[in-house]
Structure 1
Amino acid sequence: MEIGPLFPNLAWWQQVNASTCCQDAVFYFLCAAYALVSSTALIQLVRIQVRVPEYGWTTQKIFHLMNFIVNGVRAVVFGLHKLVFLLHPKVLISVLLDLPGLLFFSTYTLLVLFWVEIYHQARGLPTDKLKIVYISVNAAMYLIQVCIWIYLWIDDNNVVQFIGEIFIAVVSFMAALGFLIYGGRLFFMLRRFPIESKGRRKKLNEVGSVTTICFTCFLIRCIMGFLSAFDSDASLNVLDHPILDLIYYMLVEVLPSALVLYILRKLPPKRISAQYHPIR
């Protein structure tokens, strides 16, 4: 099954995919888009640090730092796509394309961790082991993926590639499920909050919007992971699928990252000095 024929009267699909100029245009566009998002995350990180330097590395700062790294790596990879897609052994291509995706998972599940902590605190549930669970899940994910890469380095075969693609799809499904469950729980908890205020409405919109965006992008990533596992024509680790790459990466990383950074753009309040007493 080929991707192009799924769409009627799109004979240009194969022509675009085969065009070197179109390939370069798409990947350089993705490079620029990722660089823009990465720069935005860095600027926001600097603004937060200037605003509250005394707080150290908060979840908000780590989230923006990881966004800067993930999108920055993507920008470099797509900017050097002519070299990346010619690397040997082929497992190096998978490493450069899949590692930022795993970092994206770690970055956005950090939001899930933050929401779980808020939910547990509001319900009077223990929170001391939540960070351990987050770190353990991520460590296990990276360990399994590294083992897959090492095996592919030693013996590049279709079965292990299939397992690797299914693994990415499962990881994406877990992230989507996490956003759906805990984003939904926090949303409905805030909705049932008895006090009506502007801050409550803003937080409701924030949680609802971020949950919807992240659930959707990870669900799309999951679906595409399964498709690419069963259909080589849906593979994203090749140079001659530029249109598919453009649609995929814009939907699952660039636009979600940009939207979430915009939604979470509010700076933390300044810390009032103990010696300062506001006029009453």
Structure 2
Amino acid sequence: MATSLPAHALGDVLDWWEEVNNSTLWQDRIFHALAALFGLVSAVALIQLVRTEFRVPEFGWTIQVFHFLNFLVNGVRSLVFIFLRGVQQIKPEIAQHILLDLPDLAFFTTYALLVLFWAEIYYHIYLISTDGLIPCFYTINAMVYAIQVALWLLLWCKPIQAIVILSKIFFAGVSLFAAIGFLLYGGRLFFMLKLFPVESKGRRKMLQEVGYVTTVCFLCFMSRCIMVWFNAFDKAADIDVLNHPILNFIFYLLAEIIPSSLVLFILRKLPPKRKITQYHPLY
């Protein structure tokens, strides 16, 4: 009797899971809930961008671009989930992949900007030239986008499952690369700041920001890497399909909405009104 109760409860949960997955009403509810959450994050990012621009317009474009891309990525995600049922019916099918994959690429670029920003700070403090950082940032992003475009073209010319799997593996690899970047530069900056004297101006605040954001972003991209990897090889773990709304909700909540919200919250405080010359704007 004792062992049958958990089994019965598990069976009820699985039945509920299947019922929700196959219910058009629940699919629409969950996708619209995701759209609302992404829209909220997008609005917060836009507000933060406007606040930063009015408060410290001379601060350089690295952080402004970060907030702008956050606004853009989450806004596009919101629109995609609002019209997901229509997106899934777009022909040719390659257009569906582009609409669903492009925000993933932009999400990578958005948070790679934070790595760039921290690398600039780290290099400036140690009086290392930062001339190669921005070209390196552009080069890495160009390579990522070029590979993905090549995969899209392959999928367009030869729409087979192997290329879809390869594309998902590529996204998992990109997420792993981003996680390593946060661990490397966020970790370096964090431990460097710990060496500063306690009375250093802004030391405690920046130490907390770097520590929290590094942890959040590392966990975010590692979880994306793991989930996308399983998604590539297990049809039951497939996301961005209409009949897996709960899985979509869990994935995007853990991999994008919560991390983006936490990062925006952590970085909510604006710098004082003063001219900052040690950071190069990102043009």
TM-score by length of 2: 0.90
Q: How many angstroms does 1:236 deviate by?
A: 0.8
Contact 1:41–1:64 (8 Å) recurs in 2: yes
Q: Deviations over 1:52-96 (max 9, x none)?
A: 33x275211111111110001001000111101122222222211
Can you give the 5+ residue segments of structure 1 that lack an aligned partner in the other structure? 273-280
Structure 2 Cα separation of the partners of residues 67 and 43 of structure 1: 11
Structure 2 Cα separation of the partners of residues 52 and 192 of structure 1: 28
Q: Give the counterpart of 2:247 among 244, 247, 252.
A: 244
1:191-270 correspondence runs (5 A) = 191-197=194-200, 199-270=202-273
Q: Give the counterpart of 1:99 among 64, 85, 102.
A: 102
Q: Deviations over 1:2-57 (max 9, x none)?
A: xxx9x94422111110011110001000100011110111111111111233x275
Residue 110 (structure 1) aligned with residue 113 (structure 2): yes
Structure 1 Cα separation of the partners of residues 160 and 60 of structure 2: 42
Q: 2:202 is paired with a residue of what secondary structure?
A: helix
Structure 1 Cα separation of the partners of residues 91 and 101 of structure 2: 16
Structure 2 Cα separation of the partners of residues 269 and 198 of structure 1: 12
The answer for the alignment partner of 1:26 in structure 2 is: 30
Equivalent residue letter for 1:168: F
1:132-143 correspondence runs (5 A) = 132-143=135-146
The answer for the alignment partner of 1:173 in structure 2 is: 176
Structure 2 Cα separation of the partners of residues 186 and 166 of structure 1: 30
Structure 1 Cα separation of the partners of residues 198 and 59 of structure 2: 32
Contact 2:151–2:163 (8 Å) recurs in 1: yes
Contact 2:73–2:107 (8 Å) recurs in 1: yes
Q: How many angstroms does 1:234 deviate by?
A: 0.9
In angstroms, what is the RMSD of aligned CA positions?
1.7
Contact 1:35–1:71 (8 Å) recurs in 2: yes
Contact 1:93–1:237 (8 Å) recurs in 2: no
1:142-153 correspondence runs (5 A) = 142-153=145-156
The answer for the alignment partner of 1:159 in structure 2 is: 162
Alignment size in residue pairs:
266
Q: How many angstroms does 1:196 deviate by?
A: 3.3
Q: Give the counterpart of 2:47 among 43, 48, 51.
A: 43
The answer for the alignment partner of 1:130 in structure 2 is: 133
Equivalent residue letter for 2:51: R
Contact 2:115–2:186 (8 Å) recurs in 1: yes
Q: How many angstroms does 1:155 deviate by?
A: 1.3
Contact 2:198–2:204 (8 Å) recurs in 1: no
Q: How many angstroms does 1:198 deviate by?
A: 6.8
Contact 1:169–1:221 (8 Å) recurs in 2: yes
Runs of 4 or more off by more than 6 Å in structure 1? none
Equivalent residue letter for 2:160: N
The answer for the alignment partner of 2:4 in structure 1 is: none
Q: 1:124 is paired with a residue of what secondary structure?
A: coil
Structure 2 Cα separation of the partners of residues 124 and 220 of structure 1: 35
TM-score by length of 1: 0.91
Contact 1:152–1:161 (8 Å) recurs in 2: yes
Q: Give the counterpart of 1:77 among 70, 80, 84.
A: 80
Structure 1 Cα separation of the partners of residues 222 and 274 of structure 2: 39
Contact 1:117–1:130 (8 Å) recurs in 2: yes
Q: How many angstroms does 1:197 deviate by?
A: 4.7
